[in-house]
Amino acid sequence: MHYAFGRGVVGATLLFLSCGAGLPADPFPFDRDLLLDAAPIRPGKRMPILNVEPNGNARIDLWCRTVPARVETSDISIKIEPGPLPDGPPEMQSAGQCTPERMQADEELLATLAQVTGWHREGESIVLEGPQALNFRASDH
């Protein structure tokens, strides 16, 4: 009788673990450059990148400008508090790279990032959830 009970407990435990319950979710990819999966805005080649350190400090490279941020994450939630957007484009940008369209896109992306509330993995991508989903993938550079 004890043998049958033991087999049942082992079987139930294996079933529980195989369903993924009780296992931690994949952790957020800290210290990785996460590249926004979007069409480029010409004439520049720069694409937005999010990099979050394990301590919550972050850097957001937008279409033209870069801002610091604070990020809080858990297994499924995320909160991004971006710093202020600089008034002008960075000095190292080539002439004409930061068009009015790209500068406007900076403002819109920053506002969207400030509204994200959750995140999850989708294959190799990280999806930030909010009013608008944002797909990021680890940069291969």
- What pLDDT does residue 18 have? 42
Q: Could you give phi then psi for residue 34, rounded to 5 degrees?
A: -105, 115
Ordered by start, the domain boundaries in the chain are 26-138
- What pLDDT does residue 95 have? 65
**1.20.1440.120, 2.40.128.270, 3.40.50.740, 3.40.50.300: CATH of 26-138:** 2.40.128.270
- What pLDDT does residue 4 have? 52
Which residue in the block uniquely carries the two structure tokens 């600089």?
86
- What pLDDT does residue 69 have? 98
- What pLDDT does residue 91 have? 72
- What pLDDT does residue 23 have? 46
Contact between residue 61 and residue 106 where contact means Cβ atoms under 8 Å apart: no
Structure tokens at 93: 């940008």
Residues in the chain predicted with pLDDT less than 70, given as ranges, are: 1-25, 93-95
- What pLDDT does residue 101 have? 92
How far apart are the C-alpha atoms of 3 and 84, rounded to whole Å? 65
Structure tokens at 29: 């990819």
